[in-house]
Amino acid sequence: MTELRNVEQELDRFRTRLLAAALLVLICFGLIVARLLVLQVVKHEELSTRAEKNRISIVPIVPNRGLIVDRNGVVLADNYSAYTLEITRSQLVDDLDTVIDQLAEVVEIAPRDRRRFKRVMVESKRFESLPIRTKLTDEEVARFTAQRYRFPGVEIKARLFRNYPFGETAGHLIGYIGRINQREKDMMAEWSDEDQANYRGTEVIGKLGIEQSYERELHGITGFEEVETSAGGHPVRLLRSEPATPGNTVRLSIDIKLQSLVEELFGKRRGALVAIDPRNGEVLAFVSQPGFDPNLFVGGIDQDSWKELNESLDKPLLNRALRGTYPPGSTYKPFMAMAALITGKRTAGQAIFDNGSFMFGNHRFRSHGDHGLGSVDMARSIVQSSNVYYYMLASEMGVDMIHDQMAPYGFGEKTGIDLQGEATGDLPSTEWKRNKYKRPEQKRWYAGETISLGIGQGYNNFTMLQLASAQATLVAGGKRYAPRVVRGIEDAVTRETRILSSQLVLDMKLREPDVDVIKNAMFGVTQSGTATRVFAGAAYASGGKTGTAQAVTIRQNEKYNASRLAEYKRDHSLYTAFAPLDEPRIALAIVVENAGFGAEAAAPIARRVLDYVIAGRYPSPEDIAMVQKGQGAAPVGPFVAVADVPLPPARSGGMESDLPAAAASSAAAAATASPPRQIDPTPPGEPPQARALQRWWVPRRDAPPVQPAPSAPASSPKDSAP
């Protein structure tokens, strides 16, 4: 039986299927075309940029850090290049400790290198390259290179290291650089995009002193290289590059030779000295003793060195000039005398009778030695350092009047110096006490607390920077400048120097006759007063004031006996000074901790500083030794003209600590043979200075003694010694 086929029906089905297939093909092609349009037209720019990024790698070029030089152009901080052995943990095949042990068979890796590496590792990411050894010798580089295949994830890199040629000298002022920690990374995240981009590839940042405060000037501008890479990320060719711009040169106002002399005069004692030019606020010397070697922090300080510095009872990491606060003692009396003249509480010729003590209620405020001076006017109160005169004056003025008269000098507030981390100190008032303490009975000001303020004791606590700035303000007739340690910035490209002038913060417009009364009285201190022996034979006229500040409280019926007290409980020795008498060019304040009377320890150092600056005289080695022992008075031995004294030598790139003995000896010999670098010391408009100095000397680098640290200054009243 034959089956009849419906041809038309089959054709209709075929046509329908063909049409569906054609539509499907058209739709697919349409999707492809649409996708091509999106990729080639709509997202062309985005995808082109992404492809270019995959093909081109941007490599930052870290700039050379700028130099730090003293006022005469002597380099205090520079850079040197050295090889480092670095580990990238994410690329290691074996365990980290195993790799380090194997590396130690090829290159010497000391225990401190391991500890330093693991400390830095805590603050870093796994893909970051971290140094396990720095400053490799050529022989060590060759040994590792021959066995490089054994250590995937380990490589040798050439890096720039910071170098501080004079070690501890001016260490607190210059500061140091260190690896950027997490806290600093969080802070940098708030910077502008431009500033963040400038720090790409940078691993270190200024931590203290000039290095921190002038970080932006010293860092420079980061460059870059555009490198074409393969699909595997390997560089193929260099497409374009822009070199990095080195950091600017920061020129300080200090003289490194004077700075080194002052530190040497301190010897093994603790203390601080700040010297300022009253005419413009420039800091001439900024000393904190004991100090530390900032080279220890380059590349990361090892644990033993950090423990030694951090746990030392002498607190070498404390910047005493900037952050140490002390009662000013009798050095406060000239300021009290000026306040008396301004407020009319005393005239210059008005006298009081000093019988050796002052009674307030049932409390007896004593004078040093418990002996009276008899009739005392304002000049004699300063020359002979009468306590009774200022006990009475403080009682009459009251705490708030004292505060209002002392605040314009900058006591109890930041001076505005161009360094970070300055302490404010304490200038007491009734409001100050209400804000400082919590319990109601502590907030109240008692009249008896005012008496000791007159002699610089009680709640008074100031930094040597504040005291030196106040002294400069007083002798300048009330013109108060913000102290400045940087006098100019030299552009790394144009070599033009931008002079930085100190800001006039306040002009108190002190009356010239009143200023002359105080200056002449302070001159009398050096002629017939408490500093007579120290300033005998000086080639210039200067003014000064000795001071002795209490470190711990003694009872009312107990006499001070230094020999019966532990060294760190003894009184601090202070001295303030200015010179020359008519047109002062220097004003200073110095404290020698736990050293006794101001005339015994502090004044002799001040005398040598004034000799250096005003008379151009450098003390003899015999004289320096006497001052270090606290036995100095007037200078002994033949002096040397400052211009003939050689500068300290630069060290060999700071490499001595890590090189083998033979290499270190070679480095030391090279340092001896080569003088320190100097740049042109003459900013625009200034005469050349110190260009003829060609001989060099080694500054003292004695290790600071480990002695008990001084206790916090007592806030309760005590008599002040002259």
Catalytic residues: 330
Rounded distance, CA 73 to CA 62, Å? Answer: 25
Count Cβ atoms below 10 Å from residue 590 Cβ, excluding itself. 33
Closest Cα to residue 415, out of 587, 574, 298, 258?
587
- Taking Cα atoms as reference points, which of 102, 181, 87, 177 lies closest to residue 134? 87
> Which residues have a Cβ under 8 Å from the Cβ of 328 and sit 6 or more positions away?
456, 460, 462, 467, 547, 549, 574
Helical residues (DSSP H) of 38-95, grouped into ranges = 44-55
The pair of three-digit structure tokens given for residue 99, joined into one six-digit string? 């790799």
The helix (H) or strand (E) run that includes residue 154 is strand 154-163
CA separation, residue 659 to residues 120, 138, 176, 486 (Å) = 21, 11, 21, 34
CA distances from 282 to 255, 325, 428, 590, 679 (A): 11, 21, 28, 17, 21
Backbone angles phi, psi at 318, to 5 degrees: -80, 120
Q: Which pairing describes strands 497-499 and 486-490: parallel, antiparallel, or unpaired?
A: antiparallel
Residue 75 has phi, psi (to 5 degrees) of -75, 125
Closest CA to 263 of 170, 191, 332, 201: 170
Do residues 452 and 459 lie in contact, with contact meaning Cβ atoms separated by under 8 Å? no
Q: Which residues pair with 504 in a beta bridge?
A: 481
Sign of CA dihedral 473, 479, 484, 490: negative
Angle at which helices 602-610 and 621-628 pack, to 10 degrees? 150
C-alpha 73/C-alpha 681 separation (Å) is 4
Strand ranges (E), 175-270: 177-179, 204-206, 223-229, 235-242, 249-252
β-bridge mates for residue 578, sequence order: 543, 587
Q: How far apart are CA 28 and CA 18, in angstroms?
A: 15
What backbone torsions phi and psi does residue 252 show, to the nearest 5 degrees?
A: -85, 165
